[in-house]
Amino acid sequence: MIYYQDEKLVIRTMEEADGPVFVKEYTAQGWHPDPAGYQMRLKDQAEGKCIALTAVYLGNPAGSVYLYLTVREGPFKGKGWPMIVDFSVLEKYQRKGIGSKLMDTAEQIASACSDTVCLGVGLCKEYGEAQRMYAKRGYIPDGSGVWYRDKQCVQYETACTVDDDLVLFLSKVLAGKGDK
């Protein structure tokens, strides 16, 4: 399904062929993608658990994001809000508006089932651009502090590592919603 299209960019449902392209491209930029992760997301999509989106820029897969319809972890579990997961745009395609359009699309889809959308963002510097983008888009921390592997961190605790699993959870009231 195509969710957005202009002369350069298409936002569509993820296809199986996208996974190997992303694995190759993310490996080239020094990341360590898990090929099985794409298969898991496609399986979740087939089972109706998420909507997997691919941004295609000038014919090339350039970024992706997953919108889970039910939160399975963290402070938003059980609230009925959809959750944006694993948002990313390949470095060579950044600063072209692709990430903003991916987020616009995910938020638009989320608004069909909830007045609020949530996400978790990593805390190390590699997530700095995403942190700034989320703040500019109106996402605010939920106040529960930092989480590590689905467990809330406790002050002075030393049982966490600064890696991709150390996150801060944020939420956003969607435009036109929640203003009652």
CATH classification of the domain holding 92:
3.40.630.30
Does 180 reside within a domain? no
Alpha-carbon gap, residue 82 to 79, rounded angstroms: 9
- Evaluate if residue 107 carries a pLDDT over 70: yes
Does 56 reside within a domain? yes
- Evaluate if residue 180 carries a pLDDT over 50: no
Does 152 reside within a domain? yes
Domain count, the chain: 1
Give the rounded percent of residues in the chain with a pLDDT score beyond 90. Answer: 83
CA angle, residues 58, 66, 43, in degrees to nearest 5: 105
Higher-pLDDT residue of 32 and 123 is 123
**Is the model's pTM score more than 0.75?**
yes
Both tokens of 14, joined, read 């993820």
Could you tell me the residue range of the domain that residue 39 belongs to? Answer: 2-173
pLDDT in tens, 37-83: 899 999 999 999 999 999 999 999 999 999 999 998 889 999 999 99
Does 81 reside within a domain? yes
Binned at pLDDT 50, 70 and 90, residue 176 comes out as low
